[in-house]
Structure 1
Amino acid sequence: MHRPPTAEAQVAAELAGLRPGLVPRYAAELPGARAAVLTRLWRALAHEPLPWIARRTAGAGGLALRLADGRTLRGPLADPYATDPYVTAVFLDGAAYDDPARLLTALAVPNAAGFAGELAHSVASLALSRAGSPEPPGAWPRRDWEWEQRVVDGHPFHPNCRSRPGFSVAEQFAYGPEHRPVVQLGTVPVAASECLLTGAWPAELRDGGRLLIPVHPWQAAHVLKSPCEPGPSAHPLMSLRTLAVPGGPHVKTALSTRLTSSVRDISVYSVGASATLSAFAESLSDRMDGLLHITRTLGAATANSPDLAAVLRESPQRFAGPGEYVLPVAALAGTGLPDSPARLAALARLTLTVGLRLLEWGVALEAHGQNLLVVLSGAGDPLRLVYRDLADIRISPARLARHGITPPELTGRLVTDDVPALRRKLFGSLVAGALAGVAGSGPALRAALAAALPDVPRTADLAALREGPLPAKALTLMRLSPRTPGDQWAALPNPLVLEQDTSDQ
């Protein structure tokens, strides 16, 4: 019986036709890529509320997961905050699995087949990213996109860290930031009367009574399936769909494919809310004593379709002073900051001070390592923060009113007074996401938090952070529950209590 080629073999075959000299390096990167994705998957199996895991038992020999069907899965003890690929194999009823896609196929749980395919693609794309990414020069970059293109491995905890379904190898080289391409954006002219436009739209993206909406080339070829007029040249950032125009704005384009968890488009709702949200956020940053800047949304437009829309934002580069650097928190590994306990604690102190103050006022940031940027001194010390992309924050009118702040005139998913939802949004993205990703392990995260917490705002939210488990998005559960809308959550062991018992769950 003929079997289709595996994702690894398919990428190897395409690579052989495009850049045959990279094939040996790609093959050499595959074992490490499998371990990196398997480590992320094992974290999920160990800590997420997956309904087909009946019992978890931790001991000196590692972690045993008793499945609902009676089988047993064994592996090492799982540090939920570790980023190094320490899981090279796990054992299902004694059989070893070093490939995350093969493991999930063998588990045969509901919706496993589709997710296994995504994991296979994540492994192959991660190996390709590592093989094809140029070695960064020794000097720190000065241009914003160069920092972002140094982040090769993607999301530190999602098994789909590099899954790019629908992208050929040629398209990954052409559009993936780690390969450092220059991308020629397209534009689609649409009559202004047929568009929803908020904010200002620049003259260079107008043609008489028409708006020229920037379009990603992949979107033009695979979704719109129509030719575009040439637009500006730009450098892709970490999210792939957002690109930096040299000397100009960051352009967030619609990109209707699934990267990690979500299909990437731009909703009509987010375009309609963007100007109000940007003005409100700017007023909040004015209250932050210089600790936080928020990039302004310059303009947003949609042809009343999430597949044809764009958002223009100012570059975070404007917030870096002479001799300073501004970079996403996810790129801090390239600065040596994670190796300095004092600087890691300073980052935790700065981010928690800003995050908890805003949360007390009534705004929960989605402060993961991509949205949250830090301004470093020339010596590498964290000075202040920059936040971008307001599309997924949460706003509490009740809390704002309690502090004498007029709530913005917004409705819909951005607005909630639910306290657990507000705390999950901030703690899950900032502590379990950005800070954990920089720290790289539970012990390092605990040390940074223990040093920082005495100096941050003493709020009820801080007490909740100290006392309970740490919320984190249940990323694998969400991929295995495609019909369940919205975020789902896991409760991770509190990093401040490393000896917390996680057995017999």
Structure 2
Amino acid sequence: MHRPATAEAEVAAALAAERPGLVPRYRAALPGARAAVLTRLWRGLGHEPLPWITRREESGDGLTLRLADGRRLHGPVPDAYATDAYVGAVHLDGVAYERPERLMTDLAVPHAAGFATELGHSVASLALSRAGQEGLSHGRPARGWEWEQRVVDGHPYHPCCRSRPGFSVAEQLAYAPEHRPVVELQLLAVPAEGCLVTGGWPQWLRDGERLLLPVHPWQAEHVLKRTGRATLAAHPLMALRTLALPGGPHVKTALSARLTSSVRDISVGSVRMAASLSEFGERLAAHTDGLLHITRTLGAATAHSPDLAAQLREAPEVYAGPGEEVVPVAALPGPHSAAWLADFARLALSVGLRLLELGAALEAHGQNLLVVLGPAGEPRRLVYRDLADIRVSPARLARHGIVVPGDLAGRIVTDDVTTLRRKLFGSLVAGALAATAGNGPALRGALAAAVRDLPRTPDLVALCQEPLPVKALTLMRLTPDVPGDQWALLPAPLA
């Protein structure tokens, strides 16, 4: 029976036509990419509350998952915080699987087929990303966007770390940051009277009575079906839809494509709140004794559509002093000593827990959180960007005499303690700190050294003693009809 072409074969064929010189490197990168995605998938299977897994049994030779239909799935004991690809194969009823998409297809659980397709694309795109790294200089980047383009493998724990549905091979090469392109943003002229603007809109993005909205070329072609009359050269950052203007601000564009888990856009509500959130963030940062900077939103505009909107944001490098550099946590060059990890954990937790006590939970994962490094590489301060998905607690803020801006609304506002702690702990501890440490023992050591010096608040006690919440990334892809985030609980790292 004829098998349909795999994502790996489709990318190879497209690459042969688009950039044939990359084909040998792409093929050589495929085994490592399969192991990297399989490792992320096995982490989800080993830890998340998947309804068709009835029991998990650890033994000397690994972990066995007992499935509801009687089958057994066996593999290594998963380290929930490991970032290396340590899973080369898992066994389903004795049959070895090296390709994550084939494993998911043969598991045949609800929604497995669609998820298997995403896993196949994740492997192929990851191999493509790795293939494009040959010849890259390994010296320290001179500009902020160059740091961001060093992040090749995407999300450290998501099985769909490099799945980009809707992007052809040519479009990945033209727009993805790890391929280091210059992207020509389209400037679409929109009548100002038909737009919502907050925080001001610069004169250089105006044309008489019209606003010039920067639009990602993928969005212009596939969603808006129109092109601008001018362009703006920019460097894509690791978020792909956010780009750095040379010597200027960052531009967050609307890009209605699925990136990792969600279709990201710029809602009208987020534009409406942009200026207030930015000012609120500055007031929060003032409570951290100079250890945190929050990049300001310089302007936001929308043509009353999530598909046609943009935000201008300060470049994080403006917060670097003499001899310092600002590096996204996801791009931090390793390996790191135990002492360095402890210093970084102490800095990150002191800031994150201080704001949580005040009433603001940051989504401080490795993309949103940046660290200011001193001349010797020591962590000095933090920079946080993109406040759109933080959570704020009016009750906690009121206890500290801080007023919530009146136009903050929706899911961003909550007094639920579980929601607040999930937001911070899941992103900062199980995300940024765990991925920087690279494995469970290193994370445990860094946390143990850091928490001794922190105020013993109820939030710190919960972090030390209660299970650690993490987004159930595999469960979320296998339950596409369930809106919002779903969660798993990992054993407390310090228990």
Q: TM (normalized to structure 1)? A: 0.97
- Aligned-pair distance for 1:136? 3.9
Partner deviation per Cα, 1:169-226 (whole Å, 9 max, x = no partner): 1111111101111111001111111111111101111111111111000111111111
Instruction: Give the superposition deviation at 1:457.
Output: 2.6
Is 2:491 the counterpart of 1:493?
A: yes
In the alignment, structure 2 segments of 5+ residues that lack a partner are none
Q: Secondary structure at the match of 2:412?
A: coil
1:394 maps to what in 2?
A: 391
CA contact (8 A) 1:356 1:457 kept: no
Rounded to whole Å, the distance in 1 between the matches of 2:472 and 2:254 is: 25
What residue is the counterpart of 1:500 in the other structure? none
Counterpart amino acid of residue 337 in structure 2? S
Match of 1:355 in 2: 352
Give the aligned partner of residue 51 of structure 1: 51
Q: Distance in 1 between matches of 2:290 and 2:137?
A: 32
Corresponding residue for 1:480?
Answer: 478
How far apart are the structure 2 equivalents of 1:133 and 1:176?
Answer: 13
Which residue of structure 2 aligns with residue 502 of structure 1? Answer: none
For 2:326 and 2:310, locate their aligned partners in 1 and report how far apart those are by CA, in whole Å. Answer: 24
Q: Tell me the amino acid that sits aligned with residue 280 of structure 1.
A: F
In the alignment, the residues of structure 2 paired with residue 99 and residue 307 of structure 1 have an alpha-carbon distance, to the nearest angstrom, of: 35
1:411 to 409, 412, 417: 409
Letter in 2 for 1:308: L
Cα distance, 1:464–1:270 mapped onto 2, change above 3 Å? same
Please give the alpha-carbon distance, in whole angstroms, between the structure 2 residues aligned to 1:340 and 1:137: 24
Alignment of 1:86 onto 2:69: no
Specify the code of the residue in structure 2 equivalent to 1:35.
A
Q: Is the 8 A contact 1:145 1:237 kept in 2?
A: yes
Checking the alignment, whether the CA contact within 8 Å between 1:357 and 1:457 is kept in structure 2 is no
**Structure 2 residue aligned with 1:174:** 174
Q: Distance in 2 between matches of 1:361 and 1:93?
A: 51
- Give, in angstroms, the shift of residue 3 of structure 1: 4.0
1:422 aligns with 420
Q: Can you list the C-alpha shifts for 1:444-502, whole angstroms capped at 9, x where unaligned?
A: 000000110111232100000011110000011111111111110000122224xxxxx
Deviation at 1:230, TM superposition (A): 2.2
Matches within 5 A, 1:336-347: 336=334, 338-347=335-344
CA distance in 2, matches of 1:413, 1:25: 45
Deviations 1:366-416 (A, max 9, x none): 000000000001211000000000010000000000011112211111000
| Residue number in structure 2 paired with 1:329 | 329
CA distance, structure 2, for counterparts of residue 134 and residue 226 of structure 1: 36
Q: Equivalent pairs: percent with the same residue? A: 73
Say which SS state the counterpart of residue 150 (structure 2) adopts.
Answer: coil
- After superposition, give the CA deviation of every residue in 1:308-349 in whole Å (9 maximum; x if it has no partner): 1111101001001111110100001x2x3x421111111100
The whole-number CA distance in structure 2 between the counterparts of 1:218 and 1:285 is: 35
Mapped contact 1:136–1:150 kept (Cα < 8 A): no
Query: 2:394 is aligned with what amino acid?
Result: P
Q: What does the per-residue CA deviation read over 1:12-69, in whole Å, with 9 as the maximum and x for residues that have no partner?
A: 0011112212111110100000000000000000000011100001111110000011
What is the SS of the residue equivalent to 1:391?
helix
Query: Take 1:148 and 1:397, find their aligned partners in 2: how far apart are those partners?
Result: 34
**Equivalent residues in 2 for 1:143-182 (5 A)?**
143-182=143-182
Tell me, yes or no, if the aligned pair for 1:234 and 1:245 is still in contact at 8 Å: yes
- 1:454 and 1:365 map into 2 onto residues whose CA distance is 22
| Structure 1: gaps (5+ residues) | 498-505
Of the candidates 330, 351, 372, which is equivalent to residue 375 of structure 1?
372
Whether contact under 8 Å (2:464, 2:493) holds in the other structure is no
Q: Which moved more, 1:417-426 or 1:222-231?
A: 222-231
Counterpart residue number, 1:501 = none
Separation (CA, whole Å) in 2 of partners of 1:230 and 1:33? 38
Cα contact 1:35–1:88 (8 A) shared by 2: yes
1:261 counterpart residue number: 261
| In the alignment, structure 1 residue 198 sits paired with structure 2 residue 195 | no
Matched, 1:437 2:435: yes
Deviation at 1:134, TM superposition (A): 4.3
Runs of 4+ in 1 over 4 A off after TM superposition: none
> Shift of the alpha carbon at 1:289?
1.1
SS of the counterpart of 1:386? strand
Aligned residues between the structures: 494
